[in-house]
Amino acid sequence: MTVSEVRKRFLDFYAKRAHAIIPTAPIVPGNDPTTLFTSSGMQPLLPYFLGVDHPEGKRVVNSQIAFRAGDIEEVGDNRHTTFFEMLGNWSFGDYFKREQLPWIFEFLTSTESGFGIDASKLYVTVFSGDKDAGIPPDGDAVEIWKELFKERGIHAEFADIGTEEDGYKRGVKDGERIFGYSEKNWWSRAGLPANMPAGEPGGPDSEIFYDFGTPHDPKWGPNCHPNCDCGRFVEIGNSVFMQFVKKEDGSFEELPKKNIDFGGGLERITMATVGPDIFFLDIFNAARSILETAAGKSYGSDDVSARSMRIILDHMRASAFILSEGVAPSNTEAGYILRRLIRRSIRHADLIGVESLSDVATSFGKVYEDVYPQLVQKESLIREEIQKEEAKFRRTLKTGMREFEKLAKKGSLSGHDAFVLFSSYGFPIEITEELALERGITVDHDAFRQEMGAHQAKSRTASEGRFKGGLADHSDITVRYHTSHHLLLAALRNLLGDSVHQRGSNITQERVRLDFSFDRKLTPEELRAAEDLVNQKIGEALPVFATPMPKDEATKLGAEQEFGVKYGDIVTVYSMGPKNATQEDPRFKESFSLEFCGGPHVVNTRELGDGAKRFRIIKEESVAAGIRRIKAVLE
C-alpha cells in the first residue's frame, strides 16, 4: 500500500466519526521561539489542550509533517528517519478511552473500514502506575485491550513489566500481549509525575507495536520486549489520555474535561505492508533509483552502502521540506540543522561514489505533489541550495583533511579532536576512525561519544523544544511582543504599501523579529515613521479581539495570512482597533491590524506600555533577495 493511500484512509476513517480534517502546520514554526521545528502532531495544537477553543470543534484529525533533529544520529538503520508524517486524531474534552482504543484498533485491523493489519502482529503497552504520586495503574486500558483482542479471537494476557531494564531481564512470555511500563507510558510536558509543576495536566498513554518477527539482537539485552531497540517490535502509534492535573500539595486529581491525543507514524504504519525497511516505501522509490544508478549498485547489496543510502534518502527528503519553507543553510538555528543534514549526506555520497544530490532532493516533489505542492513550487530553489552547499562543503572537506593530518601527527586522536572534525568539518566518527586505522593511530571513541551525547542533548532540546516553555511559558512579555509584531506589520503595510507581507518571524522574551517582503533598504525616516506609528497605536489603547470565521470570509476582509501556512475552512482572525470596537461588533474594516493567527495576544494595546517611545526598532537588514528583517524591542 502507498503512503498516500494510508494517509487518506486514516483521514477518511476519522472524518466519518465527526472529526474535522485540519491542515498540517509548517515544519518550521513561525511564532514559537522555544523550538526550531515542529516535532509532533500535538505541538501546534497544545493551546487547545490548555483551554483555548479550537475553531473546528472538539474533534479534529490530520497528518502533520514533523522533524526531529535529535534523531539525526539514529538514521542509518531500517526504521529511523528525522522527517516523518504523524497521523493524529484529537478530542478536546469530548470522547475518551472507551471510544479511542476501539477506533484506532478498528482502523489498524479492519479490512473493510481501515488498514487491515493482522491483529496477531500487534502488541500494546499501558501505564503501570506511580505509587509515589498516588496514580494507579491504567486498568481501564488493560480491560479495553483485552476485549478488543478477544473480539479478534486472540487471548491477550497482561504482564506488568515495570522499567525497560526489567523488560530486558524477563522478555515476552507466551500469551502476553499487553504490557505495563511505568516511566515509558506517562505523558506530560514536564515528564514524570514527580517533575510536574502544580496545575500541569498529564496522563497515561498506550503505545501500539507491530511485531516484524525479526531475530533479537542481544547487544540490546538478553531478552526482547516491546520497548527493545533491536527492531523486532516497532512502535506505530500512541494514544495519550490527558486525564489528571497536579495539585498544589503534590497529589493528582482527574481533569473535569479529559482529552485524547493520538499520534501514529504514517511511514511506520505503512511499513507493515512492505516489511521491516522503511526505505522500501513508495515515497523513496524515485530517490532510491537515482542513488542506485549513480552509485552503480543496488540498495541493500551490502550493509555499508545501504547505511549511506538510508542517510542520504532521509536527509534529502528532510532538507527538501525545510528548504521549501524558506530556511537556508547557515551556521545558526534551523539553518544550522539544515546545513548539517546536507553536509552529512554529501559525505556519505562520497563514500558510495555519488557526485551530486540535487536530483535526489528534487525527486520528492512529484511524490508529494498531491498533498504538499510546495516541493514542486520550490524545486528550483531546492536544487540551487543543494548545489551551492555541495560546492561549499567539498571545499571544506579539503580543509578538514588538512586538519585531520595535523591532529594525526600527535599519534592519537582525543574525543575532542574527533568531535571537532565532526562538528567543524562534517567528518562522521566512523570516517575519522577509518582514516586513523589506515595510519595506525587510535581514536578515543568513548570520549567522543560523551561529547557527542552532550551535543545531541542540546540539539534535541533546542530543536524539539520538548514543549518546555511552549504556550505555558509564553510569559507576559512574550505575549506583548507577539502583539507588537502584528502592529509592526500593519505599520509597515500602512507606510510602504500592500506589497509588504510577513515572510517569517521569531519572538522571544528579549525582542521581536519580523521578516517581510520588500525590495530595498528602508530609510532612517521610514524606520522612524514605522516606530512612531506602532507607538501611536499602543497609546490609542486599541482593543484586541479573536474571532473564528470561515477562511473565505477572512480572506475577503483582507486579513493577512502567515507565509507558508495551510489553513482549514474555519480560522481565527485577530483584529486590533478601532477604539470603539467590541467583540460583538469588531468592525473589521476599520481595524488597524487584521491577521489570521492562533494567538496568544494582549486584550488591549495599552498593555504594551504608554506609547511614548515604548516600541523601538533596533535593526533593519536584508536576509534574502526581496526579504528584509526588522528587530525591535519594548522598553
Buried b (16+ CB within 10 A) or exposed e, 107-140: bbbeeeebbbbebeebbbbbbbbbeebebebbeb
Question: 2 is written with which cell numbers?
Answer: 502507498
pLDDT at position 63 is 97
Q: How confident is the model at residue 421 (pLDDT cuts 50, 70, 90)?
A: confident
Question: 144 is written with which cell numbers?
Answer: 479495553
Range ranked top by mean pLDDT from 48-52, 459-463, 483-487: 483-487
Give 462 or 594, the one with higher predicted confidence. 594
pLDDT at position 250 is 92
Mean local confidence (pLDDT), 216-229: 93
What 8-state DSSP symbol labels residue 203?
E
* Residue 469 predicted with pLDDT over 60: no
Contact by Cβ (8 Å): 23, 44 = no
pLDDT at position 430 is 62
Mean local confidence (pLDDT), 594-618: 83
pLDDT digits (tens, 9 = 90+) for 86-130: 999 999 999 999 999 999 999 999 999 888 999 999 999 999 999
**Mean pLDDT in the chain?**
89
Question: 58 is written with which cell numbers?
Answer: 472538539
Q: Closest by alpha carbon to 246, among 155, 150, 132, 347?
A: 132
Task: Tell me how far apart the alpha carbons of residues 145 and 317 are, in angstroms, rounded to a whole number.
Answer: 36
pLDDT at position 465 is 40
What 8-state DSSP symbol labels residue 137?
P
pLDDT at position 467 is 32
Mean local confidence (pLDDT), 66-72: 88
Question: In one letter, which amino acid is 437?
Answer: L
* Residue 367 predicted with pLDDT over 70: yes
pLDDT at position 552 is 87
Give 239 or 391, the one with higher predicted confidence. 239
Task: Tell me how far apart the alpha carbons of residues 534 and 539 are, in angstroms, rounded to a whole number.
Answer: 9
* Residue 509 predicted with pLDDT over 80: no
Coil, strand or helix at 438:
helix
pLDDT at position 458 is 55
Mean local confidence (pLDDT), 601-614: 81
Give 325 or 70, the one with higher predicted confidence. 325
Q: Which residues pair with 412 in a beta bridge?
A: 442
pLDDT digits (tens, 9 = 90+) for 12-61: 999 999 999 999 999 988 766 667 899 888 888 888 887 788 999 999 99
Residue 426, sorted as left (phi over 0), alpha (psi -120 to 50) or beta, turns out to be left
Task: Tell me how far apart the alpha carbons of residues 167 and 81 are, in angstroms, rounded to a whole number.
Answer: 25
Q: Closest by alpha carbon to 312, among 278, 280, 346?
A: 346
Q: Which residues pair with 239 in a beta bridge?
A: 206, 262
* Residue 522 predicted with pLDDT over 50: yes
Give start and end residues of each alpha helix (H) in 135-249.
139-151, 164-170
Give the Cβ contact number of residue 615 at 10 Å.
27
Q: How confident is the model at residue 575 (pLDDT cuts 50, 70, 90)?
A: very high
CA distances from 558 to 490, 551, 555 (A): 12, 11, 5
pLDDT digits (tens, 9 = 90+) for 193-210: 998 988 888 999 999 999
CA 397 to chain centre: 30
Task: Tell me how far apart the alpha carbons of residues 258 and 254 are, in angstroms, rounded to a whole number.
Answer: 8
pLDDT at position 463 is 41
Task: Tell me how far apart the alpha carbons of residues 610 and 624 are, in angstroms, rounded to a whole number.
Answer: 35
Name residue, grid cell 504599501: 497
Q: How confident is the model at residue 561 (pLDDT cuts 50, 70, 90)?
A: confident
pLDDT at position 432 is 82
CB proximity list for 289: less than 8 A, separation 6 or greater:
none
Contact by Cβ (8 Å): 487, 577 = no
Q: How confident is the model at residue 624 (pLDDT cuts 50, 70, 90)?
A: confident
Give 309 or 600, the one with higher predicted confidence. 309
Contact by Cβ (8 Å): 326, 26 = no
Task: Record the pTM.
Answer: 0.72
Mean local confidence (pLDDT), 621-626: 84
Task: Tell me how far apart the alpha carbons of residues 619 and 629 are, in angstroms, rounded to a whole number.
Answer: 8
pLDDT at position 612 is 66
Mean local confidence (pLDDT), 61-71: 92
- Least confident span in 30-39, 60-69, 271-280, 383-392: 30-39
Give the Cβ contact number of residue 328 at 10 Å.
16
Question: Burial, 556: exposed, middle or buried (Cβ in 10 Å; 0-12, 13-18, 19+)?
Answer: exposed
